[in-house]
Structure 1
Amino acid sequence: MLLRLWVVVGICCLGLPAAAWAQVQHQLNGVVRVSGSGEVLPGATVTVPALQAGATTDEKGAYTLQLPAGRHQVVVSFIGYDTQTRELNLTRDQRLNFQLVASGNQLGEVLVEGRGSLQEKLQTPQMSVERLTAREAKLLPALFGEVDLLKTLQLKPGVQNGGEGTSGLFVRGGSADQNLVLLDDALVYNPSHLFGLFSVFNPDAVQSVDLYKGGFPAQYGGRLSSVVDVKMRPGNAEKLTTSGGLGLISSRLTVEGPIVKNKGAFLVSGRRTYFDIFTRQINRLNNDDPEFDPIPDYYFYDLNAKANYKLGAKDELFLSGYLGNDVFGFNSQNGFNFDFSWGNKVGALRWNHVFNRKLFLNTTASVTSYKYSITNKLDQFSFSLASDIRDLTLRTDLDYLPNDRHTLKFGATATSHRFGTGRLQAGSEDGRLGFGSDISYRGEEAALYASDNFRPTEKWQLEYGLRLSGFRSGSQDQYAGLEPRAGVRYSLTPNLTLKSSYALMYQYVHLVTNSGASLPTDVWYPSRGSVRPQRSQQVATGASWLFGDGRFLLTNEVYYKWAQRQIDFRDGAQLFVNEDLDAEFLFGRGWAYGNELYLEKKQGRTTGWVGYTLSWTKRRFPPQRGTSGINNGETFFPNYDRRHNLTVVLLHNLNERVQLTGSFVYTSGQATTLPLGRFLFQDVFGEEPGAVPIYPQRNTYRLAPYHRFDLGVVWKLRPNRWIPESDLTFSAYNAYNRRNPYFVYFDQLRDPQTDQITGYRARQVSLFPVIPSVTYNFKF
């Protein structure tokens, strides 16, 4: 009795009631790394199951939790690593680091023991977001065995591809240029190799990819439809390692290691195709054959590099870089030469500073450029056409954690753009004939933002923010807009939540293209003159249900998006080297709405996901500028509109050394315009009749549905003294040899006796049959 009285009196003397004493909060923070390598783990999940509290580690592997004083069980998990559990008696602010060990079955990289990331995905107010790790993507079968992160994102609901084999993303009814693609916070303008067949992201250099389809956080802006946030791996801070792979069309090599052990690290990763090695040899062997048509040269390469260094307990520097290029060349024996190259250069320097346990700073300076160049030469006359865009960007972000209920983020960004919309040079080698033109513009873009993640009760969580953005191109063309963002999560039960979000977005730069898919020759153009910023709004709502003892997560989201000032071009528009490009634009509106159903499993011998999307995308361009608009001003479906989209991805551990993987895709046929018939006429000279096609409204036809099954086997080889880790990955792209439509053309039908045209027959062109491949991966 005396002891109890002393405790009560002591608490009262401290000015705290007994109930409040039990709720004293302490901060738990630390870093999650890989045991034996020192590599940090962004995206690892740190949870306290009893309190339904948790956090996901940032790009530095760091996490922060506010917990009541007392004993807690802390669970840490990450894909491909053994889950770690610790008992903790929290009596003060404490730093707790974790070293996760790779799963004993290396092929089980998509397994997460425990509730892990699915629980975190259930509880966050952020909706319409998907995270993909390079470890997951490497297990899935791929075209020519070339692992592609953007193609893997096409297997997620709400994401459409631009056609057979392409890596372009069309997210919730948006066009390919409405995706904000970031590599370590630096913008990437053209994320494609090989005319869109592969992305520029080498999976060996990438840590993770986050895809935001809606409910965009306030720190992102400048595009309407999605954010693709790619983070590079930081490198091994403990020991020097080498890894790579040999495939059918390319080889990869990555070297990483410590600069100073456990204080700094570096990573260098390169990849190159070798089409050109074989084509050049074939051309050389047939050089003396006048009937031989030379095979064009083609190859691409990319190089990633990253370094980090701890300046002290509170400061760390990160330096990231990317260089990639595609080169296509054709040299004929009659003196005609054609050279075409395009590529990206990206660099970013980031400084992380910790003011105290509640305030953190990230400041990034980045430079990015994209350029293409076409050169033709015939005998003594040459012609070249080029375009480029270059950005210099400075951004700063602050994270402030005042208490366990609020997480504040605020910051600013400023970008200087230079748009080279057309550079033309032509002339003769002797200099007697020559002319040229160079059209360029400048622009400045800036933004301020603030957001708050607020948790008023255990059931409610809100994330809301405001972004103020602006753009200036010259002294007369200035634009600004407020972009509110909001998201809310309500927990009906510990395993069932409801979510809703709203986002308004502005886009100040535009892609000048005359096709539905992005091409290397597309030109970026600023808002100026009559070309005002594009704008979109999106609302979404959905439910998430965690069941099967936390092994399955089922989500269902409904979205509606409407956009203004969408851009297309008048018929016969002159898009290149045009000093009055503004006059070629037409402006309209767009709508997109749909339902996305997604089932995900991350535990057990069999893992994967199933996604289904039912959606509609529409555009309308009314009569304007002396034209009848597009489709006579009537609403039409763009060619990337798909009504149904079904994806099934399965990964199964057969045993400790063999894993089976497979993916199935089904989508409705691509919208297209085909002639209803042809009008025949006889010319005045009595020669063969001509035929003029008669077209209906735009995109009133659908090509045949697209479906494909890919099959893969990953076979882990036994270690030896030289190569401790290696595997063979076998895959079959389009395993049942479906002849999917790429495009349709028409053949003339003729009477065999009179040789006169009697009709026309539609013929389908397919791109890829079944394609088997094998890749050897190694690490030592």
Structure 2
Amino acid sequence: MKQTTLGIIFLSIAIISFSQSLTQTVKGQITDEQSGAPIIGATVQILEINPPLGAITDINGYYRIENVPIGRQTVGISYLGYEPITIPNILVGSGKEVVLDAELIESLHHLDEVVVTAIDQEKGQPKNELATVSAISLGMDEISRFPATFNDPARAALMFAGVQTGGDDLLNEIVIRGNSPKGILWRMEGVEIPNPNHFTSIGSSAGGISMLSNNMLANSDFFTGAFPAQYGNATSGIFDLQLRQGNFEKHEHTAQLGLLGVAAASEGPVAKGSRSSYLVNYRYSTLALLTELGLNILGDQEDITFQDLSFKVKVPTKKLGSFSFWGLGGKNTYQFLPNRSIGEWENESEEQRLGVAGITNVVYVSDDSYFETILSGSFNQITNKYDSLEMLTYDEEDFAESQVRFSTYFNHKFSPRHTIRIGTIFSRLSYDLTNVYWDRDREEYVTPLDENDHSGFYQGFANWQFRTSDQFTINTGLHFSHFALNGKSYLEPRMGFKWDRKTYIISGGIGLHSRMETVALYTARQYLEGGTFVQNNKDLGFTQAFHSALGFEKMLKPKLRFKAEVYYQYLFNVPVWPTQNTSDYSLLTFSALNTFDGYTPDELANDGTGRNYGLELTLEKFLTKGFYMLSTASLYKSLYTGADGVERSTQFDGGYIYNFLAGKEYRVGKNGNNSISINGKFIFAGGKRQAPINVSASINDGHTVYRFEDNYELKLDGYFRMDFGISYRKNKKRTTSVISLDIQNVTQRENEFFRYYNVGARRIASDTQVSFFPNLSYRLEF
């Protein structure tokens, strides 16, 4: 009888244990947004569950909530004297703990009681408190949901208003408000870094595949205009990337296998009880895996490999503040293999190496003041070689650049109304640039680049935030830049405001901005008779831009947000061809505003201008009952003036962009522990522009001849692309596994890339982009 009773008890326990819903821990730190100081005694609650769960922050602002049910959760944070916030749709899984940090804004009117309500007004707001307009926070959870982004921030940005592809679906190049992609600035952990993409080129801001991993990134800011004074050396957009802190209490790991390669990540405490942590991610890939599956994306004669590594180690101390050691490195190769059996004698190869490492120190000198200091170093090298006996062409490039940067700023909160931030950035730019090619006309080798030297780039900024009330905030500031190579200096005033009426928000910003050209352009040589040379562009100035933007935002419902923004940008001091040097319309209509990368040894002048203006609309339904939706529409003009003084459309002047994204999550399995996510999006945009083709001249000359006097009047067919993604997430007691399939261009539409004259067919033909690109992957968290 006793054995029977005991057996029933154990069986009951087993049944109860098996039927229990899985849970996880949610933890993090709550700080003051303006001063960065930890908030002691703040209340953190898991809303919309019964019974309620919550915690109070400790002396260092940390909290810990255990036994949180897996799935989507809403977190409410409040503290007496501060404005409460609600953070919705936090994905809680069984494989890894959730680290959720947040910042609160001190209220100008101290209330006796604070009630937390679940209004998602804070969702998507930029992390930088000095940003007021044309900025959004990129959430890593959202990026992973967007189909065909391949966890790439640049590809994810295509869904935001005013952003479109650069014209090549194999690259993650983006055009923001009609600006050249060259004007984009990449930052990591608060400091400028080289272009963090594989398969890039000199002067480019993009590449084929991002070196960044969603295993490493925290929520990061993306700017499309009117940047705060803290940012310099950008005219079109900014990616301000932040690496998250590893779990300082528990070791956790991630493994991933996909058609684009394999990856592994690990994180955990460095020393028990010290709140120090490490986080590291490594990825290796070869696109040959796609070929093995019959998807001949690259062709039989091309070979591509790439790998990258990123890490962050954070070590807090008692007296010297916290230290973070972080870095990113990547290497990739490309090779075209000629088929000798059919007489091909064309060789092409490319190799790229990039490394970035830094140390960040944040130290508090009082409860309201802190210094952030960053010392970083970076190295990037691009080597290209092209050799063709058929074309009698030889071109070899070796561009190596390294940068050492020292950045520091002081942040002080005088009161809830007044906060200042003052800082400087010192950059030592070293370069070893070589380019040799065979000149067929002169029948000799020419060396337009052979430079090994260094120079300095110095920046300073000052920001003042003034809150006239809980509703109205003004951010003003100055940014200063000086380029030691040619002595050019720029002083750029900026101002922004935000009027938060709780039921709606009006925001705006104006300011001057500038962007330097690649060092290769400043140092390139033009050879004269007798073997001497001149560096035509050593004194070339920066491209400058005046930005203005005005925005309106309203919550139509608690989970439905509408945004509208109008903008006007005037660009000046743009490099163009000097009018006195040519009568060739291909040169007279040239402007750096139409370029993606590269350099020239020929003389340029800062005589060009440009204008961008438009209207952007966004309707976003936050994730509710498993469903979310994002719809954006943009109407815009992008114009430029070259050396001939005629205002024309830029090649990016498509006129309109419409994006639609929607997805649905279904909870499945016993107790709803697992989920299926289905996501789809489509992009519809006006086509890029190019010069019309002179058909009669093309017939006579036997190759494509363009009418450059009408440059960019020809508009290519409209761009349309539909992407699809599906994933299955399975939670077990200590692991989470995700299998997903992402397909870019699921309808296999062949979008027009450019037009040319087909001599053999005696007609105008079009080259098209990649019609289909899938990625199947499996991810395990434990």
Q: Residues 336 and 467 (structure 1 numbering): CA distance in 2 closer, same or farther, change over 3 Å?
A: closer
Q: Residues 103 and 733 (structure 1 numbering): CA distance in 2 closer, same or farther, change over 3 Å?
A: farther
* SS of match in other structure, 1:531: coil
Partner of 1:609: 630
- The root-mean-square deviation of aligned C-alpha atoms, in Å, is 4.0
1:506-559 deviations in Å (ceiling 9; x for gaps):
22334779xxxxxxxxxxxx996441122111111121112313x222111111
* SS of match in other structure, 1:137: helix
Matched, 1:326 2:328: no
Output the CA distance in 2 between the equivalents of 1:498 and 1:418. Answer: 44
Partner of 1:502: 510
Q: Residues 611 and 76 (structure 1 numbering): CA distance in 2 closer, same or farther, change over 3 Å?
A: farther
Output the CA distance in 2 between the equivalents of 1:737 and 1:120. Answer: 32
Which piece of structure 1 moves more, 462-471 or 736-745?
736-745
Which piece of structure 1 moves more, 163-172 or 387-396?
163-172
Partner of 2:361: 351
Q: Residues 408 and 690 (structure 1 numbering): CA distance in 2 closer, same or farther, change over 3 Å?
A: closer
1:227-281 deviations in Å (ceiling 9; x for gaps):
1101112212112222021111222111112111342111111112223578899
Amino acid at match of 1:138: S
* SS of match in other structure, 1:152: helix
CA shift at 1:462, angstroms? 0.8
CA shift at 1:377, angstroms? 7.2
Output the CA distance in 1 between the equivalents of 2:661 and 2:167. Answer: 20
Q: Residues 714 and 107 (structure 1 numbering): CA distance in 2 closer, same or farther, change over 3 Å?
A: farther
Partner of 2:650: 638
Partner of 1:710: 723
Q: Residues 384 and 744 (structure 1 numbering): CA distance in 2 closer, same or farther, change over 3 Å?
A: closer
Output the CA distance in 2 between the equivalents of 1:435 and 1:467. Answer: 37
Task: State which of 585, 599, 603 in structure 1 corresponds to 2:619.
Answer: 599
CA shift at 1:496, angstroms? 1.3
Superposition map of 1:170-249 within 5 A:
170-194=175-199, 196-249=207-260
Which piece of structure 1 moves more, 445-454 or 184-193?
184-193
Contact 1:65–1:404, Cα closer than 8 Å, also in 2: no
Partner of 2:755: 744
Output the CA distance in 2 between the equivalents of 1:548 and 1:681. Answer: 61
Partner of 1:111: 89
Contact 1:564–1:590, Cα closer than 8 Å, also in 2: yes
Output the CA distance in 2 between the equivalents of 1:119 and 1:241. Answer: 28
Amino acid at match of 1:593: Y
Task: State which of 478, 495, 504 in structure 2 corresponds to 1:486.
Answer: 495
Output the CA distance in 2 between the equivalents of 1:692 and 1:270. Answer: 46
CA shift at 1:329, angstroms? 2.2
Task: State which of 644, 667, 670 in structure 1 corresponds to 2:688.
Answer: 670
Matched, 1:311 2:311: no
Contact 2:24–2:69, Cα closer than 8 Å, also in 1: no
Output the CA distance in 1 between the equivalents of 2:355 and 2:657. Answer: 34
* SS of match in other structure, 2:89: coil
Output the CA distance in 2 between the equivalents of 1:407 and 1:556. Answer: 29
Task: State which of 773, 776, 779 in structure 1 corresponds to 2:778.
Answer: 776
Partner of 2:62: 97
What TM-score, normalized by structure 1, do the two folds share?
Answer: 0.76
Contact 2:492–2:513, Cα closer than 8 Å, also in 1: yes
Q: Residues 594 and 185 (structure 1 numbering): CA distance in 2 closer, same or farther, change over 3 Å?
A: same
1:41-82 deviations in Å (ceiling 9; x for gaps):
7xx8x8xxxxxxxx6599xxx66679xxxxx9856789xxx9
Amino acid at match of 1:320: W
Q: Residues 295 and 315 (structure 1 numbering): CA distance in 2 closer, same or farther, change over 3 Å?
A: same
1:134-181 deviations in Å (ceiling 9; x for gaps):
2211122216xx332210011111222201423112222321121110
Contact 1:452–1:464, Cα closer than 8 Å, also in 2: yes
Partner of 1:132: 138
Contact 2:135–2:221, Cα closer than 8 Å, also in 1: yes
Partner of 2:572: 564
Count the aligned residue pairs: 658
CA shift at 1:321, angstroms? 0.9
Output the CA distance in 2 between the equivalents of 1:87 and 1:231. Answer: 26
Matched, 1:169 2:174: yes
Partner of 1:517: none
Contact 1:110–1:136, Cα closer than 8 Å, also in 2: no
Q: Residues 250 and 444 (structure 1 numbering): CA distance in 2 closer, same or farther, change over 3 Å?
A: same
Contact 1:678–1:692, Cα closer than 8 Å, also in 2: no
Output the CA distance in 2 between the equivalents of 1:765 and 1:579. Answer: 25
Q: Residues 530 and 125 (structure 1 numbering): CA distance in 2 closer, same or farther, change over 3 Å?
A: closer
Which piece of structure 1 moves more, 702-711 or 338-347?
338-347
Output the CA distance in 2 between the equivalents of 1:57 and 1:103. Answer: 33
Q: Residues 700 and 384 (structure 1 numbering): CA distance in 2 closer, same or farther, change over 3 Å?
A: closer
Amino acid at match of 2:618: Y
Task: State which of 677, 681, 703 in structure 2 corresponds to 1:659.
Answer: 677
Output the CA distance in 2 between the equivalents of 1:488 and 1:439. Answer: 45
Partner of 1:153: 157
* SS of match in other structure, 1:135: helix
Partner of 1:25: none
Contact 2:704–2:757, Cα closer than 8 Å, also in 1: no
CA shift at 1:414, angstroms? 0.7
Output the CA distance in 2 between the equivalents of 1:692 and 1:390. Answer: 40
Output the CA distance in 2 between the equivalents of 1:434 and 1:601. Answer: 58
CA shift at 1:87, angstroms? 8.6
Contact 1:37–1:239, Cα closer than 8 Å, also in 2: no
Q: Which runs of 5+ in 1 are unaligned?
A: 1-33, 47-54, 67-71, 283-292, 427-432, 514-525, 623-631, 683-688, 751-759
CA shift at 1:773, angstroms? 3.5
Contact 1:160–1:640, Cα closer than 8 Å, also in 2: no
1:611-661 deviations in Å (ceiling 9; x for gaps):
111111111112xxxxxxxxx431122222221111112222222411211
What TM-score, normalized by structure 2, do the two folds share?
Answer: 0.75
Output the CA distance in 2 between the equivalents of 1:735 and 1:641. Answer: 26
1:99-127 deviations in Å (ceiling 9; x for gaps):
36776216999726922453784998611
Q: Which runs of 5+ in 2 are unaligned?
A: 1-22, 75-86, 91-116, 201-206, 439-444, 522-534, 669-674
Partner of 1:392: 404
What percent identity do the matched residue pairs reach?
Answer: 18
Output the CA distance in 2 between the equivalents of 1:182 and 1:386. Answer: 25
